[in-house]
Every structure is written in structure tokens, then in C-alpha cells.
């Protein structure tokens, strides 16, 4: 047995399915990392691969980035967490609030899921309304309300003019489904018509500006402007989920739009490789969390929130992810998308690549999808994607399991060229099955 097989045999005895997160499960077993350096990960068998997954988009500088290692090591020697505030928390809050115009105040939490959950609860506390609206198919973490419709399929997603609120987990309360209004992506007319049916009940509209599961295509300016106007007209909040997308520009993906959100959730890259989340927004909205107010509308705490290890790592990571670094990384992603598109054309396969900023996704579809229903991969396409991912893995490349990539500053054209070459070989391998 290989080391990975041995570890998996032990894991099956103590972990459900042998894993603590389903995203890393592979058949016949997951592989186990031994170490990472820069944009490379070496597994316990001694095989080294280029890491285009970057722990599901959370590592902006790759693995063991010296600036983070040095800063965290110094802090660790002083202590990892206290029942006290720390200067690191204040310094990091200042950096992020100075960076993004819509951030008057910020509250740190421990994950993207927690950030979205707190953001939705803050929206309810501020508006006094219970319902939220979200885009069909968009992923927002594991909170009951946020995960509604993220795995909808043709058998249950309903009419496009009034999409169903479908659960992810068995046992999701019906009341939770009733309190989530689902709108189609980038479809202003349909979205507004649906929202108008609930105009007195919606606390916020939750939007990912580059939703991965919807196809990794940007929200249109018209769509965001329309949602913003609707929230102004109906005393609701516009809530951006930038847990993944904050990496796409210096001030997050919201930098690309005409309007600002009332509140934003973040996670992943802001932790510098450690568990992190945050919600930030307008001062009057963030006051619902303020313990100095006569009545605290949303009592909130967290044992490890703003711990100095995460704050130190995040500060080091985001200081070095400055405007020049953002531009360089985004240029590298544009190069990758262009070269992948050339490979697709050379092979003559029905495929395309989408994305923005430092993220992109390969679809086995002739045309880029415009929404979740077009992006949805049926069993045939899913099986082909799995074959392609296995081929890439066998050729030294780690990808996210939708055939998506998130780049790190440790990468260069050499790594992109290796990916494109492996993809081209993979497209050649799949072509006979796709042209039957």
C-alpha cells in the first residue's frame, strides 16, 4: 500500500468518509500533502505538483511565503490568542478600511461562512426584515439561508421566472427555504419582477460579483446598478460576498462597479493562509454590532475572532498584495485564459474558459455560460471534467474540482505554460468522447 492508502485506511476509522472536508475527497482515496513551497505542493509519496487550487482560492502568495512565516513565527512566540484585544487587530482593520471606500468599520470572524452568516444577521437586525434574496446557484458557505439553491438542478430548479428555493442538506427547515428569494443572475427584468413580489420583506440582496458555481462570469454593471436602486427604493441592503472575489482587484471585485455595497463579507485571502473572515460596511449598518450602543441589535463574539496569528498573517499578506502585485497577477491570468483559448481552438473541442482577476474556469461547453442554468454540468459533462482533472493531476497539476484555477504571486509563465500543455493533451484525450 502507498502512504496515502495507509493514511486513508486509518482515516476511515475516525473520520466520516475518511475526510474532514468533502472537497478534498478523491476516488479511490485522497492524496496527502507533506509540504508546500511557493506554488508547489509535495505529497507524502514525494510527488510534486503545481498548485492552481491554492486551498480553494485562499493562498494569494502560495505556500510558506517568507513574509508571513517570519511575521507569524514572531507573534507565535508571544502567544496565539488572548481574552484581550491586540494591536494587530487594529492595524489590520486600519489597512482594510483605508483600502476599500465602502468599509467604514470592520468586524473580524473566523471563516467565510461565518462572515456571510453574520452579514445576513446584521442585515436583518438593521432593517427589521427576515427574508434575503440571492442569485440562483451562487455559493455562499454553509449557513442554511446562504446555501439555498446552490445545488439546484433541472429536476427541482423550477420556472426561470420564479426559481425554487431548493435545499442542499436533508433536514433544512422549510421556514428557511421560505425566507430565501431566488433570483436569476444578470437578468435585470426577471430579478426585479421577483424582488417586487417581496418588497416589504427583504433585508438584503446577497450577491457574489464573480460567482464560481454560476459559471465564474462577472455580474454586469446593469445588474448591480438595478439591484442597488431596488434596495434604495425598498429600504433593503445590498450585501456583497467577496469571500472569494476580494483577490480579483486591489479593492476587491467591487472596485469594478458604479455603486458601493452597504456591507461586505470577506474571507480566504485576508487570512494569509490561516482561518479568517470579516464583515465590513457603512458605519450605521455596522452599529448593530457595537457593544457601546444602548441596545446591541446583534450581540456577536467568537473565541478566535481577530486572534493575533491570523491578524498578523493577514496584514503581511495584504501589505504585499499591493496594486502592482494585483496587476501583475491579473495579467498572468489573462495570459493563461488567452493561451487556454488557443489550445481549445487548436484541438477543435467544444470548450471555453471564463473568469476575471486571478481566477478562471474551463467549461466543456462551446459557449461561455451566461447564468447558473447554462453553467450547470450534467452527468456526461461532469464525468468528462473528472477525467480531465485526473489527467491534470497525473501530469503534475492541482485544480479546483470544477476545473477552476486561482493563481498565486509565486507563479509565472512557466507554470501557466505547463498547465496549458497538459490541458491541450487532455482536450486531445477527451475529443473522441465528445464527438461521438
Tracing cell 490561516 back to the chain, one arrives at 274
Each residue's pLDDT tens digit, 184-225: 999 999 999 999 999 999 999 999 999 999 999 999 999 999
C-alpha cell at 135: 442569485
Strand partners, 398: 51
Each residue's pLDDT tens digit, 215-263: 999 999 999 999 999 999 999 999 999 999 999 999 999 999 999 999 9
The number of beta carbons lying within 10 Å of the beta carbon of residue 80 is 13
Ordered by where they begin, the domains of the chain are: 31-60+322-434 (3.90.1150.10), 66-320 (3.40.640.10)
Average pLDDT, the chain: 97
Least confident of 25-34, 74-83, 112-121, 152-161: 25-34
Q: pLDDT band at residue 436, thresholds of 50, 70 and 90?
A: low
Measured CA to CA, the distance from residue 361 to residue 403 in angstroms comes to 6
Entry pTM: 0.96
Measured CA to CA, the distance from residue 52 to residue 415 in angstroms comes to 9
Quickly list H helices, 50-161. 54-57, 66-76, 87-99, 112-127
Each residue's pLDDT tens digit, 102-144: 999 999 999 999 999 999 999 999 999 999 999 999 999 999 9
- Residue 98 CA neighbour count, 13 Å, CB half: 10
Each residue's pLDDT tens digit, 365-378: 999 999 999 999 99
- The DSSP secondary-structure symbol of 361 reads E
C-alpha cell at 270: 485576508
Amino acid at each position: 500500500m502507498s502512504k496515502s492508502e495507509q493514511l486513508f485506511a486509518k482515516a476511515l476509522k475516525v473520520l466520516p468518509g475518511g475526510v474532514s472536508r468533502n472537497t478534498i475527497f478523491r476516488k479511490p482515496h485522497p492524496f496527502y500533502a507533506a509540504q508546500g513551497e511557493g506554488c508547489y505542493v509535495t505529497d507524502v509519496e514525494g510527488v510534486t505538483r503545481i498548485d492552481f487550487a491554492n486551498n480553494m482560492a485562499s493562498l494569494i502568495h502560495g505556500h510558506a511565503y517568507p513574509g508571513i512565516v517570519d511575521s507569524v513565527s514572531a507573534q507565535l512566540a508571544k502567544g496565539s490568542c488572548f481574552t484581550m484585544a491586540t494591536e494587530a487587530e487594529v492595524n489590520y482593520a486600519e489597512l482594510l478600511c483605508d483600502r476599500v471606500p465602502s468599509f467604514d468599520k470592520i468586524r473580524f470572524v473566523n471563516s467565510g461562512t461565518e462572515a456571510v452568516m453574520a452579514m445576513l444577521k446584521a442585515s436583518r437586525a438593521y432593517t427589521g426584515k427576515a427574508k434575503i434574496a440571492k442569485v440562483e446557484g451562487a455559493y455562499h458557505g454553509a449557513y442554511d439561508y446562504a446555501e439555498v439553491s446552490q445545488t439546484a438542478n433541472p429536476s427541482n430548479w423550477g420556472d426561470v421566472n420564479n426559481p425554487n428555493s431548493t435545499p442542499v442538506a436533508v433536514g433544512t427547515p422549510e421556514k428557511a427555504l421560505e425566507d430565501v428569494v431566488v433570483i436569476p443572475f444578470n437578468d435585470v427584468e426577471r430579478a426585479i419582477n421577483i424582488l417586487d413580489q417581496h418588497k416589504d420583506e427583504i433585508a438584503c440582496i446577497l450577491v457574489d460579483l464573480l460567482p464560481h458555481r454560476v459559471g465564474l462570469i462577472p455580474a454586469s454593471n446593469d445588474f448591480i446598478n438595478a439591484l442597488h436602486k431596488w434596495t434604495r427604493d425598498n429600504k433593503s441592503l445590498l450585501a456583497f460576498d467577496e469571500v472569494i472575489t476580494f483577490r480579483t482587484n486591489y479593492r476587491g471585485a467591487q472596485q469594478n462597479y458604479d455603486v458601493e455595497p452597504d456591507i461586505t463579507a470577506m474571507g480566504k485571502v485576508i487570512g494569509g493562509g490561516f482561518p479568517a473572515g470579516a464583515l465590513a460596511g457603512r458605519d450605521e449598518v455596522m452599529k448593530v454590532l457595537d457593544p457601546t450602543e444602548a441596545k446591541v441589535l446583534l450581540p456577536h463574539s467568537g473565541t478566535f475572532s481577530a486572534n493575533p496569528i491570523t491578524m498578523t498573517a493577514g496584514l503581511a499578506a495584504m501589505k504585499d498584495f499591493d496594486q502592482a502585485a494585483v496587476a501583475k497577477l491579473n495579467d498572468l491570468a489573462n495570459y493563461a485564459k488567452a493561451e487556454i483559448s488557443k489550445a481549445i481552438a487548436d484541438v477543435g473541442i467544444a470548450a471555453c474558459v471564463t473568469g476575471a482577476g486571478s481566477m478562471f474556469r474551463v467549461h466543456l461547453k462551446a459557449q461561455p455560460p451566461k447564468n447558473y442554468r447554462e453553467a450547470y454540468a450534467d452527468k456526461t459533462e461532469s464525468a468528462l471534467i473528472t477525467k480531465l482533472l485526473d489527467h491534470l493531476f497525473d501530469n503534475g497539476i492541482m485544480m479546483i474540482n470544477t476545473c477552476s484555477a486561482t493563481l498565486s504571486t509565486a507563479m509565472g509563465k512557466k507554470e501557466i505554460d505547463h498547465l496549458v500543455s497538459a490541458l491541450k493533451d487532455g482536450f486531445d484525450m477527451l475529443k473522441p468522447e465528445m464527438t461521438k
